[in-house]
Amino acid sequence: MKRLAMAATFALALSLGGLSPAVAQADDSSATETTDIQAAGDAGNAEADTPGTENPPTDPGEDAGDDGTPTEPGDGEQSTDPGGDEDAADPGDSDESTDPDEGSDEPTEDSTPIDASFSLDQSTMPVDEAAKAIPYTITGLKAGDTVTAEPGENGSITVDSDGTFAGDLRGNTELKVGDVVDVTVTVARDGQESKTFTGSVEITENDDGSEAAVSVDPQSQGIDSYLDNGVDITVNGCEAGEDVTVTIVRKGDDTNIWEETKTAGDDGSVSTSFMPGTGGDGWIDDFVVSATCGDTNVETTYSVTEDDDGADADLTVTPKIQKLHDFLENGVNMTLVNCHVDSDVTFRVSTKRDPDTEVWKETQKAGEDAAGSVQFTPEEGGAGWADDFLVMASCGDKSAETTFTVTDDGSVVDPKLSIDPERISGVDFIDRDKGVQMTITDCAADAEVHFEVYSGDEKLYEQTATADEDGAAGIQVYGLGDDPAYYVGSYKVVADCMDVSRSGEFVVTGGESGGGDGGDSGEAGSTGGGSSMPRTGAELTGLTAGALLILGGGAAIALARRKNKN
């Protein structure tokens, strides 16, 4: 019989967080052999006593590391004072402590070790914005701490209250596009060794903020259709109530053929039509449509051919530009005309930066109007859909292409799942001080993150954790059985954050202790993306301090193994 234990814990803040997670403990004796997955223990709800510490032992001299950082009590048991005084927290009880009057480095009520976290608010900044100020944040400070940031003209700043300090570097007026600014921030505290943090900011071009776009329907048609129906023109991305001027000129000629000014609606769009009426074959040409709103000018083109017989296929995509949330909700509509009835019409979508990689593809039959129409809406959401896309469509020997743009409105998260380690020996897996840590980052603050662990198609465990203020949450899993061989095999991990799913796996091997432990945590699964959570000692301690024990007999995993073999 084997037992599977899972420890749920809330992740430390990656960059801004300095708060210790809650701690919960459970006794192994709560295991039963008759349930597949049974909850035991208690999720940690106790708040840390001071920022940057976790489950502080009674005696600082006993459990503190050389650098003053508290270490985690083994097996979740409360440490005691070897001096026998349960109520005392006298640093003098430690063998290494000295009389405070003789220069002791032990923390006192007025001086505690620096346990701060540093982050730059932005990793890339437009050159004009960076020249004004480069913002940064430090958490876990004490009133009286001195913060010195470089490069800049601010000098040293004394913090006037405990908690978070938001500062900026000013005076960097000589920055150029392409520069990388190396930032150094030092925190000093009386009686303690100072602590230095570093980071960098890449300087980019200024963003003009333009999101306007103009589209023409159809982009190509015969002269007869053009004289009868003209063209429809749509402008998107302007400011509500703003005047929008639309003009038409012949390609290569700046003389206005037509001009109209309208006021943008509440959605920042304008729709209009141009009907030539008369002129005959004189309209056979290529034309440029320009739209101006505010300081922004955008253009597109359309063509008028000799006749409709044998005309090239014409592809339209609507809307041409939209916010990420709207795109994930409604997608885009694509239409290819001037095909043949019942011919195969194929639509293909890729990104403009990587046109050879297919994002989506669909083939259908052209209708009686000799046109094919489809709607493309992503099945899985994510911030990665904010991009410029290329649409290619074909029917028979005809083809056409166009583009559309999805802009990031900040409404969609792009969480990342890390599994550490991804390969572990059975001996280490049943060691409750090791096991496997699964962490979601880049979720939203206070969002519910749902974790599931599978053996094959059999779900062995699920747990929901609340993300911290930096959007991070995690759980730890390990086996409680005596025989590590029971746990050998592959396990799938699925984590959901705000309807965005990420997956990965870890493998328990039959090797000796240390065979799969240690090393950097790799990104799990093909949908993870990005970098995994840093594994500094303090952060790892924070992630694994709380332990909600889930006990499972060997029958649960054995059942899953049998199903996988069938």
Query: Cβ of 450: how many Cβ atoms within 10 Å?
Result: 15
Place of tokens 């190509």: 220
CATH of domain 4-58+412-565: 2.60.40.10
Are the beta carbons of 560 and 449 closer than 8 angstroms? no
Cis ω before 319 (30° cut-off from 0): yes
Average pLDDT over residues 319-337: 91
Q: If pLDDT is split at 50, 70 and 90, which confidence band does 140 have?
A: confident
**CA–CA dist 293, 239 (Å, integer):** 8
Are the beta carbons of 245 and 291 closer than 8 angstroms? yes
Nearest to 236 by CA among 404, 9, 439, 59: 404
Q: State what percent of residues in the chain have pLDDT above 90.
A: 31
Is the model more confident about 330 or about 72? Answer: 330
Q: What is the H or E stretch that residue 563 is in?
A: helix 554-565
According to DSSP, residue 75 is labeled G
Nearest to 418 by CA among 439, 435, 434: 439
Encode burial over 160-190: b for 16+ CB neighbours within 10 A, e otherwise.
eeeebbebebeebeebeeeeebebebebbbe
Q: In whole numbers, what is the pLDDT of the chain averaged over residues?
A: 74
Q: If pLDDT is split at 50, 70 and 90, which confidence band does 354 have?
A: very high
Whether residue 491 has pLDDT greater than 70: yes
Name residue 317's beta-bridge partners.
334
Looking at the domain 208-309, which fold is it? Immunoglobulin-like (2.60.40)
Are the beta carbons of 336 and 395 closer than 8 angstroms? yes
Strand order in the sheet with 458-466: 423-425, 500-509, 489-497, 448-455, 458-466
Whether residue 146 has pLDDT greater than 70: yes
Class of 312-411 per CATH?
mainly beta
Q: If pLDDT is split at 50, 70 and 90, which confidence band does 351 have?
A: very high
**What local confidence, expressed as pLDDT, does residue 511 receive?**
66
pLDDT in tens, 37-50: 333 333 343 343 43
**CA–CA dist 337, 313 (Å, integer):** 5
Helices assigned H by DSSP within 160-280: 223-229
Give the global pTM: 0.31
**What local confidence, expressed as pLDDT, does residue 276 receive?**
86
Tokens matching residue 317 = 């995509």
**CA–CA dist 468, 445 (Å, integer):** 5
Q: How far is CA 146 from the centre of its chain?
A: 33
pLDDT in tens, 104-137: 445 455 578 888 888 988 888 888 888 889 999 9
Average pLDDT over residues 151-172: 87
Tallying the residues shown for the chain, one arrives at 566
Q: How far is CA 431 from the centre of its chain?
A: 32
Q: What angle do CA 216, 272, 313 make, to 5 degrees?
A: 20
Are the beta carbons of 324 and 406 closer than 8 angstroms? yes
Name residue 38's beta-bridge partners.
551
Whether residue 553 has pLDDT greater than 50: no
pLDDT in tens, 47-96: 434 344 444 444 434 444 444 444 444 444 444 444 444 443 444 444 44
**CA–CA dist 549, 534 (Å, integer):** 25
* Sign of the four-CA dihedral 187, 188, 192, 196: positive
pLDDT in tens, 175-221: 888 889 899 999 999 888 898 999 899 998 776 555 789 999 998 88
pLDDT in tens, 256-278: 999 999 999 998 899 999 998 77
Whether residue 238 has pLDDT greater than 70: yes
pLDDT in tens, 387-420: 999 999 998 878 999 999 999 877 677 889 999 9
Encode burial over 306-344: b for 16+ CB neighbours within 10 A, e otherwise.
eeeeebebbbbbebbbbbbeebbeeebebbbbbbeeeee
Q: If pLDDT is split at 50, 70 and 90, which confidence band does 309 have?
A: low
Average pLDDT over residues 527-534: 30
**CA–CA dist 247, 407 (Å, integer):** 26
CATH 2.60.40.1930 residue window(s) in the chain: 208-309, 312-411
**CA–CA dist 118, 468 (Å, integer):** 16
pLDDT in tens, 440-465: 998 888 889 999 999 998 998 889 99
**CA–CA dist 210, 296 (Å, integer):** 7
Residue type, 166: A
Average pLDDT over residues 145-173: 88
Those residues with Cβ within 8 angstroms of residue 282's Cβ, 6 or more apart along the chain or in another chain: none
Query: Cβ of 3: how many Cβ atoms within 10 Å?
Result: 27
**CA–CA dist 467, 8 (Å, integer):** 12
Burial of 64 (0-12, 13-18, 19+ CB in 10 A): buried
Nearest to 458 by CA among 4, 39, 28: 4
Whether residue 489 has pLDDT greater than 80: yes
Q: How far is CA 345 from the centre of its chain?
A: 36
CATH 2.60.40.10 residue window(s) in the chain: 4-58+412-565
Strand order in the sheet with 163-169: 117-120, 134-141, 163-169
